[in-house]
């Protein structure tokens, strides 16, 4: 498993371009002897089937397989061989843990039922899960529950965090564009000014969370890009802003979109600019089914003891597992990646998946599947 994880780490591929990764996964699945491998599902997605000894319920296990467009720090023996591509979210580890679970489930097949292994591409774009769903994932390979595992830096290595509340945020992107005819900086009365409109927008949307959202709810609106103009004496014709809006409840999600739109429209009107807004829904919040979360805790308690259950705050980060858990009940567990409180965070150039947790993660996934099949018809 360590060798497989490191091989994936050495050859990361960007979201939507995981052809070689998918090929490696499919080859390995054939080698370990799963019953069936289905390729190219929703892009580079792979689904593999392991049948139990008798017919019964069916359960899904999901791992993401893609990497990020960033440069890894130098000096690692298993470091990325690709320029500006890196497994900085640990999806190499997730893939290896799911492969390990497959191996365990083949060595000792479940007494009954079916395990559906889902290797999902393009998580970092939030597009892989919906693409697999659109390609008939759940119609072709129906499951009654779905489980997944994401590593979590800073949580003690091998501890688990299982949330009952929504624990990864919904994430929507927006792009606002203020436009005018543009003009001479010395004659501001002859044109509307997109820069002033953009400035008003930057400050006005800070009030959405502080003034419009119920303080009991959690939400973030952040701008990550503001682009306009190039010369000191030209009022530009365009100012473009990009941002992200995150929260945990669909009602709040709708409210954020409504307010971003209203604020942009109001400022456009007040400043005399034209305005366009592209609001791009991305991933829904990740919400565990309570029974499935309990099942995860039962497995951890039975196998390693209660003290391996850690608590950790929810994350404003997003994961397209949210789409899958919207479609079928399940749970997304976190496994501690360790390395203490100063551990490199996900998406940092010095991050690395911790090989010490591979075996435990595999065992967890296999045991969760086994327990679900034992408990359900």
| Residues found near Zn ion in the complex (CB under 5 A) | 89
Smallest distance from Zn ion to CB 90, Å: 6
Contacts with 220 (C-beta within 8 Å, 6 or more apart), sequence order? 169, 209, 244, 245, 246, 247, 316
Which C-beta is closer to Zn ion: that of 89 or that of 213? 89
Nearest CA to 123 among 317, 295, 355? 317
Q: Residue 44 has which token pair?
A: 């580079």
Rounded to whole angstroms, the Cα distance separating 79 from 72 reads: 7
- The residue whose Cβ lies closest to Zn ion is 89
- Residue (150 or 371) nearer to Zn ion, CB: 150
- When the beta carbons of 92 and 104 are compared against Zn ion, the nearer one is 92
Q: Which is nearer to Zn ion, 70 or 204 (CB)?
A: 70
Provide the edge-to-edge strand list for the sheet that holds 238-247. Answer: 219-228, 238-247, 170-179, 274-283
258: tokens are 């409504």
Least Cβ distance, residue 88 to Zn ion (angstroms): 7
Q: How far is the CB of 4 from Zn ion (least distance, A)?
A: 18
Of 86 and 89, CB closest to Zn ion: 89
Interacting residues of 44 by C-beta distance below 8 A, sequence separation 6+: 16, 17, 18, 19, 21, 22, 65, 121, 122
Spatial CB neighbours of 315, under 8 Å, sequence gap ≥ 6: 167, 168, 169
CB of 286 to Zn ion, least distance (A): 11
Q: Give me 31's structure tokens.
A: 């080698």
Question: Shortest Cβ distance from residue 151 to Zn ion (Å)?
Answer: 8
Nearest to 85 by CA among 349, 343, 320: 349
Residue 203: CB minimum distance to Zn ion, A: 30
**Nearest residue (CB) to Zn ion, 89 versus 131:** 89
For residues 130-155, one letter each, b for 16 or more C-beta atoms within 10 angstroms of the residue's C-beta and e for the rest, the string is: bbbbeeebbeebebbbbbbbbbbbbb
């Amino acid at each position: 498993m360590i060798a497989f994880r490191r091989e994936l780490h050495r050859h990361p591929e960007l979201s939507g371009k995981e052809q070689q990764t998918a090929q490696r996964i499919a080859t390995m699945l054939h080698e370990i002897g799963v019953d069936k491998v289905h390729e190219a599902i929703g892009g580079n997605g792979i689904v593999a089937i392991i049948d139990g000894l008798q017919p019964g319920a069916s359960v899904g296990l999901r791992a993401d397989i893609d990497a990020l467009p960033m440069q890894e720090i130098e000096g690692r023996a298993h470091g990325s061989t690709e320029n500006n591509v890196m497994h900085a979210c640990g999806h190499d580890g997730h893939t290896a843990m799911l492969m390990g679970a497959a191996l365990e489930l083949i060595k000792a097949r479940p007494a009954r039922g079916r395990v559906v292994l889902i290797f999902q591409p393009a998580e970092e774009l939030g597009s892989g899960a919906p693409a697999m769903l659109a390609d008939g994932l759940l119609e072709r390979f129906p499951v009654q529950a779905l489980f997944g595992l994401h590593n979590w830096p800073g949580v003690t290595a091998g501890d688990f965090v299982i949330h009952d509340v929504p624990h990864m945020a919904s994430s929507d992107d927006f792009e606002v564009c203020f436009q005018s005819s543009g003009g001479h900086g010395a004659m501001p009365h002859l044109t509307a000014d997109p820069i002033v409109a953009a400035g008003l927008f930057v400050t006005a949307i800070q009030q959405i969370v502080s003034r419009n959202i119920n303080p009991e709810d959690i939400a973030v609106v952040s701008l990550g890009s503001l682009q306009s103009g190039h010369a000191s004496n030209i009022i530009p014709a365009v100012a473009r802003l990009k941002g992200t809006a995150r929260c945990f409840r669909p009602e709040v999600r709708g409210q954020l979109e409504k307010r971003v739109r209203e604020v942009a429209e109001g400022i456009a009107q007040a400043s005399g600019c034209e305005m366009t807004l592209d609001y791009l829904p991305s991933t829904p919040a990740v919400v565990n089914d309570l029974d499935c979360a309990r099942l995860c805790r039962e497995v951890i308690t039975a196998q390693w003891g209660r003290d391996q259950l850690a608590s950790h705050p929810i994350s404003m980060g997003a994961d397209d597992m949210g789409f899958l858990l919207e479609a079928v009940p399940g749970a997304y567990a976190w496994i501690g990646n360790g390395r203490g409180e100063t551990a490199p965070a996900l998406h940092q150039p010095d991050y690395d998946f911790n090989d010490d947790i591979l075996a435990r993660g595999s065992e967890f996934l296999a045991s969760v599947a086994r327990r679900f099949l034992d408990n359900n018809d």
